[in-house]
Structure formats: C-alpha cells, structure tokens
C-alpha cells in the first residue's frame, strides 16, 4: 500500500481483518507513508526510513517528465532555471516531483 496517510485506526483494523482472513500464512504487506504515526497504527513490525534522492537525480526525473525532448531546455534555458527551483523545493521526494 503506497503513500498511506490515514491516521484513523478503526478502518485500518477492518482492512487487516480482511487481509488476515484471505492471505496465506506468513504473507506480508508493505506500507509506505511519510508519517511515523501511520506506521505505528498499521501495526508495523519494523520501519525502514528512506532518504530522498539526490538533487541531480531529482532533476533528471523532473526533466524527463516536464520536458519530453532535450531541445525544449536548449530553446528555453529559462525553463531549466525555473525547473531547478521546483526540484529544490521538492527536497528529494520523488512523489512530489
């Protein structure tokens, strides 16, 4: 389950009841969240904190989606300046890019 935000315990327990009744013994559910409280509500056994991606990798990801062709940046260098400001504000979070 990716990017879980809800801190409401009851719906999570209802969902887990269904998973527990249909899953194979030993099955695991991977939950990603930005909030430690959500991780604790989901009954997480262990957490793994991920670091954001580098600013260079952030720029490559952003540029790949924002500028379908390299010629756009060449023709409009001001767009690269603006894009790099956006990348900096996203602080290495791929989902924000």
- For the entire predicted model, the pTM comes to 0.61
pLDDT score, position 92:
95
Nearest in space to 8 (alpha carbons), one of 42, 32, 35? 42
24-47 residue pLDDT tens: 777 778 888 888 888 888 876 788
40 φ, ψ to 5°?
-70, -35
Nearest in space to 6 (alpha carbons), one of 54, 42, 43, 47? 42
pLDDT in tens, the chain (97 residues): 888 888 888 888 888 787 777 777 777 788 888 888 888 888 767 888 888 999 999 999 999 999 888 778 888 889 999 999 999 999 999 888 8
Judge contact between 61 and 53, C-beta under 8 A. yes
């Amino acid at each position: 389950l990716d990017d879980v935000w809800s801190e409401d315990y009851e719906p999570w327990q209802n969902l887990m009841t269904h998973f527990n009744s249909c899953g194979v013994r030993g099955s695991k559910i991977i939950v990603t969240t930005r909030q430690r409280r959500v991780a604790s509500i989901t009954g997480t056994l262990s957490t793994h904190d991920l670091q954001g991606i580098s600013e260079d990798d952030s720029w490559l990801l952003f540029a790949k989606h924002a500028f379908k062709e390299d010629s756009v940046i060449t023709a409009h260098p001001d767009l690269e300046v603006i894009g790099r400001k956006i990348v900096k504000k996203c602080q290495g979070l791929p989902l924000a890019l």
